[in-house]
Amino acid sequence: MKIVQVNKFFFPEYGTERYMFGLMDELTRRGHELIPFAMHHQKNVPTPYAKYFVSNIDAQSTALSLGSLKAFARAVYSREARKKFGRLLDDTQPDVVHVHTIHHHLSPSILREAHKRKIPIVQTLHDYKLVNPAYLFPLRDGRPCTECRRGNWLHLIRHRAHKNSRLSTAALVLESFIHATTRIYERSVYRFIAPSRDMAGRLIEFGVAPGRVSVIPHFIDLESWRPAQTRGGGVLFAGRLMADRGLDHVVHIAQALPGTQIKVAGDGPERASLEARLTMLGIKNVTMLGRLSGDDLIQAYKNARIVLFPSLTLDTFGLSVLEAMASNKPVVATRLGGVLDLISDNENGILYQPDQPEQAVAGIKKLLGDDVLARTLGRNARKTAEEFSLTDHYERIINLYAAATINSVEQRLERLYASKLVEATV
């Protein structure tokens, strides 16, 4: 099968790209032909298809300028992306298009090109952008905010939901309003892939038709992520350093447990702020490891006794949680989002309320003080991780590709039959 994989970046930077590259490697190994489409970037993995990639654009600015206006226009509808994607489709004649994250840098304009050529599209949703312009659901009073049901987005501007900027949030709301009004996603995409049952339920709650949503969890390469043979020590936090990752909880736990070493593996916009807070508060038991990948990240998990996942938003899945579980490490995580598909409280990890970090402190103390419990939860975590194998994931994805292709052929045959029927009655 010939498959186009579409994502704004073509280098393994964060969870979305790590998932996509892992899937592409497996599909290639199984004999399929993979064709990437993305934005030019100096970090991109070399590919002969780079000649079709769109120009690079910075979509991070929140200030009003000519550049930000151009970025907004491109986010709504990119002629460049549509033309180049159309040329790629004509030159390669793929069987199916698998879309990942395309907002802002590529825009959904590319969907029309595949749709008009009758090439089926599936999309893995790595965030909640389809139903929430600000991508995620912030906590209000300890619970995910559910005000933004489809079309009810003005309150996001009031709350400065994106980058603490009313202007930036208003641009996202207008962009999403245009896409929702034109129904470009609904008209083009055969099936939306939700990585967790929690996400699927929320998509349906917010207006996505149940028949358009398939739950296909992410996977873990069990050959690479093997159980740790050592007990390990301390607590590991691994993730992007952003406010919604629960960095306040990291600080709270470090203060409450000054004798416990906490290692932070990651980088991001809040790194400088976190380091400044740690220095100001005189916290000495936190070590900043920076962003880790590959064997270094695997070893960091193995060296830990406990892994902390204090997310304060609705994660679509929780890949770092699965990595920790595959390393047979108990995870202490907030009771939110896709993690609930992975962790059963006090069976293979510990869950705590997102507005009560003291519960995380108690959970960590409990595991540090009870080696038998920590080992038991770790073993159970590994058993859970084994349910998310790459082989099972591949089978579910390829079956969806086949269903999308068959559906496309059936639709073409129905249209052909209908036109012949009209001709016969004239």
Per the prediction, the chain carries an average pLDDT of 91
The pLDDT of 383-390, averaged and rounded, is: 96
Neighbouring CB atoms inside 10 A of 240's CB total: 17
Query: Do 34 and 182 fall into the same domain?
Result: yes
Q: Is residue 278 part of a domain?
A: yes
Instruction: Spell out where 291-404 has E strands.
Output: 306-309, 331-334, 349-352
Determine the Cα–Cα distance for residues 338 and 209; give it in Å rounded to an integer: 20
Structural domain count of the chain: 2
Nearest residue to 62 via CA among 179, 177, 164, 174: 164
Which structural domain, as residue segments, surrounds residue 342? 235-385
pLDDT at 60: 64
Q: Sorting pLDDT into bands at 50, 70 and 90, what band is 162?
A: confident
Determine the Cα–Cα distance for residues 87 and 106; give it in Å rounded to an integer: 15
Domain of residue 295, CATH code: 3.40.50.2000
Query: Do 241 and 337 fall into the same domain?
Result: yes
Residue 294: exposure state from Cβ atoms within 10 A (0-12, 13-18, ≥19): exposed
Query: Do 380 and 395 fall into the same domain?
Result: no
The pTM is what?
0.91
Determine the Cα–Cα distance for residues 29 and 360; give it in Å rounded to an integer: 42
Residue type present at position 323: E
Q: Is residue 227 part of a domain?
A: no
pLDDT in tens, 359-373: 999 999 999 999 999
The pLDDT of 129-150, averaged and rounded, is: 75
Query: Do 190 and 277 fall into the same domain?
Result: no
Query: Do 88 and 148 fall into the same domain?
Result: yes
pLDDT in tens, 57-80: 876 655 556 667 788 888 888 999
Assign residue 217 a region: left if phi > 0, alpha if psi is -120 to 50, beta otherwise?
A: beta
Q: Is residue 146 part of a domain?
A: yes
pLDDT in tens, 313-337: 999 999 999 999 999 999 999 999 9
Q: Is residue 180 part of a domain?
A: yes
